[in-house]
Amino acid sequence: MAFELEALVGHLYIVSGRAIKTAPPGALIEVAPRKAARGREADTFFTLVLPGGEETAPAAFYEQLAEFAAEKFFSASGSVTAALRSVFHSLNENLYEHNANESSHYEASIVIGVLRGMDLYLARVGSGVALLKHELQVQPFPGDFDNDEVLFAPPLGVQPVPVVKMANYHVSSGSRLLIGDAHLADLEMPQLVAALAADDIAGVLTVMKGFVPLQMTLMALEFVSPEVDTTIPVRAAETSRATASATRPPASVQAAAAGTSSESESEGSRRLNQRGVPLPALEVAGAGARALAGGADSAVKLIDRLLPTPSPDKPRWFASPAAAGTAVVIPILVVMVVVIMWVSGTGASEFDQCVQRAEEAADIARNVASSDVQGTISAWSGAAALATECQRLRPDVPDDSLSAISAESQTIVDHLMVISRRQMSIVASFPQAGLTHAILQGQDLFVLDDGNDQVYRITLTPDGMGMEPNTRQALAYMRRNVQLDEYQVGDLIDITWAEDGSGFSQSNVIVALDSNGLVIDCPPRFSDTCRAQQLQSTENWIDPVAITVWNGRLYVLDPGANQLWRYDPNAGAFANAPIEYFSGEGRPDIRQAVDFSIDTEGVVYILLSYGTVVKFRGGDRLDFAFAGFPQGQALTSVNAFYLNTNPLQPGLYIVSREAHAVYETLLGGTFVHNFRAENEAYFDSIADVVYNNAEKVIYTLSGNSVFAFKRDVAE
């Protein structure tokens, strides 16, 4: 099977300050074996298993964990997230049982990545971290590296149920990823950005090697197109995986090792210096040398004044005890003074030079011809990025000139890109959550926490901008592992609203679907009276991602099977096998589908991940095309959408995590708005959107929070 992206991989393994020229135990990258489960054929799996706890196990232990994780993943069917959860639960169960019954007590942290097409899934248990560079954005996983509560979680083998963190990102050729132990989070972000900007994967490792403390276990990856000819001047890295059997398909993976020759290291350094980094190492060294020279000269003068050349007829001052003490103290004082001068002088020099470069970049942007829209946007975006990097040198002391550059850049870019900035209100936040799906019904907002597989309900304030006090409720029977009648609820996939309850316990219920095909419906005000039913023929499912109910029928979007399954109600349940919505010759390709919805006339809208909407009635394709988008701003990466069928303001609201935006279009696809947050970090993990027609409020889910903003404001 052809792969859209290949992964170049290298390792950095430093123990007690010494680089080990082998891959660390527990580092593994593998493509799907020939007998992989359905839906796994195009997946690339990589993992890094890290020691945890006070007792370190033999190296073979971490290698076996990595091998077991890969085997478990490729043998599991269903969605990527469901397979990853299965891996974590199996590993944790085995290790927890071992620790309970054996004298040796082993713990381990693990980070797993799965590359599927242009989608990257990251998941972890424990304290491993990752850093993704995609285009101009750098995103830490599982969260801000400055937040210890997010970074450090119980490792495998400590609790009966592991604490799993997951995230999904869009990647493309040139995207780079670092996976490492907690020491990676200790490095300064400008250092990590500089490393990720190196010429190639070998350069990344060379730069990282200069920043690393005494300990570090690191895996570095670059995703490239199979057509790209990659020539990396380093040896191929070893992994902890045994050599693939002859029956395994050729791996679409090339590896670059951290343990390079001196020739390759110098080559990597040469390339890095040609490209330059935000704070060049050569400038730091030069500033340090000048400061040391000046400090040494001052020290000589100080010694001459304190200890003048004695007259021949006077006793030698060095013979006294005071002189002996002074001879020891003065060199120490001199070293302290010189170091202080160097540190303070270097910091000021770096910052001043960085500000100067930012101002020069802004001047260049101001002189770009106004007719060159893309050139103007690129120039101002670069100036703003440089201003941000400069301000990070002095985060506690805002610089007016840098703030002015950032503000000017945002104003100009927003105007050219027709961006509508909005102030966000945080409606509600859920600890340790990863919100992915939302349903608005009247004043009730239901959200699915995919991180913990739990559905919550909150009641909105009359203006729609907040949550009524004490209204947050976790729906007891819409969570993973709960027992409902004879069924146990599994990983939840999606939620929807059923106005027509022909196949449910009643009408007007909130509905959830798990990865095993179990459907749970609950009356919103009587959530303890839920009902569960098992759908038929779920063995034909591959990767279901979304559900909706229309006219009493339940629809399941399964891009893995390239199908939309339709379950018709019968005697108050969905007791029959599903009907294929797409049949016959010329079926559409919806394998990149991420979301769908159905309007009041039964027209199906399916959103594809690369920014296209396909539209059907009764399985037949209808015309649809986006139009009126600003120059160069066509949709290229999307995650979810909301279909507004209100006759007063029908339209689509489309989420793009890559652009940190919510786009609004008419039902026919004509551009209306490009909404972005004043603080773009709020949309770092944006996953879903819904619209409140009554109050004209747009709600978004991002990370663990629900955000709200007004659609219409005076601009």
Give the CATH number, domain containing residue 148: 3.60.40.10
Q: Reply yes or no on whether the pLDDT at 329 is more than 70.
A: no
Tokens of 189: 């972000």
Reported confidence tier of residue 343, pLDDT bands at 50, 70, 90: very low
Q: Domain ends where: 417, 444, 477? A: 417
536 and 552, same domain (yes or no): yes
Between residues 23 and 178, the one the model is more confident about: 178
646 and 682, same domain (yes or no): yes
- One DSSP character per residue, 127-149 reads S-EEEEEETTEEEEESS-TT-HH
Q: Reply yes or no on whether the pLDDT at 676 is more than 60.
A: yes
Between residues 227 and 226, the one the model is more confident about: 226
430 and 373, same domain (yes or no): no
Indicate the helix (H) or strand (E) that contains 119.
strand 119-125
**SS3 assignment for 566-618:** EECCECCECCCCCEECCCCCCCCCCCCEEEEEECCCCCEEEEECCCEEEEEEC
Domain for residue 715, yes or no? Answer: no
Q: Reply yes or no on whether the pLDDT at 342 is more than 70.
A: no
In degrees, rounded to 5, the angle at the alpha carbon of residue 589 between the alpha carbons of residues 586 and 594 is 150
Share of the chain above pLDDT 90, in %: 51
91 and 192, same domain (yes or no): yes
Reported confidence tier of residue 17, pLDDT bands at 50, 70, 90: confident
Query: Which DSSP letter does residue 56 get?
Result: P
In degrees, rounded to 5, the angle at the alpha carbon of residue 448 between the alpha carbons of residues 77 and 546 is 50
Domain CATH code at residue 602? 2.130.10.10
The least confident of 270-274, 604-608, 681-685 is 270-274
Domain for residue 670, yes or no? Answer: yes
Domain for residue 150, yes or no? Answer: yes
Domain for residue 552, yes or no? Answer: yes
Residue bearing tokens 């200790």: 186
| Model confidence pLDDT, tens digit, residues 346-389 | 444 688 888 888 888 888 889 888 777 877 887 888 888 889 88
Share of the chain above pLDDT 70, in %: 82
| Model confidence pLDDT, tens digit, residues 56-96 | 888 888 999 999 999 999 998 888 888 999 999 999 999 98
Residue 140: cis peptide before it, omega within 30 degrees of 0: no
Tokens of 530: 């839920």
The count of domains in the chain is 3
| Statement: the pTM of the whole predicted model exceeds 0.75 | no
Domain for residue 532, yes or no? Answer: yes
What is the residue-averaged pLDDT of the chain? 83
The least confident of 118-127, 241-250, 496-505, 672-681 is 241-250
**CA dihedral sign of residues 123, 128, 129, 130:** negative
Mean pLDDT of 445-460: 96
Total Cβ atoms within 10 A of residue 474: 14
Domain for residue 90, yes or no? Answer: yes
The three-class DSSP label of residue 426 is strand
In degrees, rounded to 5, the angle at the alpha carbon of residue 708 between the alpha carbons of residues 705 and 709 is 145
C-alpha 544/C-alpha 490 separation (Å) is 14
Indicate the helix (H) or strand (E) that contains 63.
helix 59-75
Query: What's the N-to-C CA distance of the chain in angstroms?
Result: 51
The least confident of 27-31, 143-147, 599-603 is 143-147
What are 622's strand-pairing partners?
615
Between residues 246 and 43, the one the model is more confident about: 43
Query: Which DSSP letter does residue 126 get?
Result: S
Distance of CA 701 to the CA centre of its chain: 15
C-alpha 620/C-alpha 579 separation (Å) is 15
pLDDT of residue 279: 36
Tokens of 226: 């199979």
Between residues 533 and 360, the one the model is more confident about: 533
What are 497's strand-pairing partners?
510
246 and 296, same domain (yes or no): no
Reported confidence tier of residue 229, pLDDT bands at 50, 70, 90: low
Q: Reply yes or no on whether the pLDDT at 459 is more than 90.
A: yes
Q: Reply yes or no on whether the pLDDT at 331 is more than 50.
A: no
318 and 459, same domain (yes or no): no
Total Cβ atoms within 10 A of residue 450: 21
Between residues 631 and 132, the one the model is more confident about: 132
125 and 264, same domain (yes or no): yes
305 and 268, same domain (yes or no): no
pLDDT of residue 230: 54
Q: Reply yes or no on whether the pLDDT at 199 is more than 90.
A: no
193 and 318, same domain (yes or no): no
Q: Taking a C-beta distance cutoff of 8 angstroms, is the pair 481, 510 a contact?
A: no
Domain for residue 1, yes or no? Answer: no
270 and 240, same domain (yes or no): yes
Indicate the helix (H) or strand (E) that contains 337.
helix 321-366
- One DSSP character per residue, 361-406 reads HHHHHHTS-TT-HHHHHHHHHHHHHHHHHHHTTSTTS--HHHHHHH
C-alpha 511/C-alpha 547 separation (Å) is 9
C-alpha 612/C-alpha 619 separation (Å) is 17
pLDDT of residue 307: 44
Tokens of 210: 């200069």
642 and 525, same domain (yes or no): yes
Mean pLDDT of 398-416: 91
C-alpha 459/C-alpha 566 separation (Å) is 32
Plot region of 445 (φ>0 → left; ψ -120 to 50 → alpha; else → beta):
beta
Q: Domain ends where: 417, 435, 456? A: 417
Q: Domain ends where: 355, 386, 417? A: 417
Tokens of 708: 């709200």
Spatial CA neighbour of 30 closest among 91, 73, 87, 89: 73
Indicate the helix (H) or strand (E) that contains 655.
strand 651-656
391 and 467, same domain (yes or no): no
Domain that residue 44 falls in: 6-275
Domain for residue 479, yes or no? Answer: yes
Mean pLDDT of 675-698: 96
Tokens of 573: 């349940």
C-alpha 62/C-alpha 74 separation (Å) is 19
What are 166's strand-pairing partners?
123
Indicate the helix (H) or strand (E) that contains 51.
strand 43-52
Between residues 301 and 556, the one the model is more confident about: 556
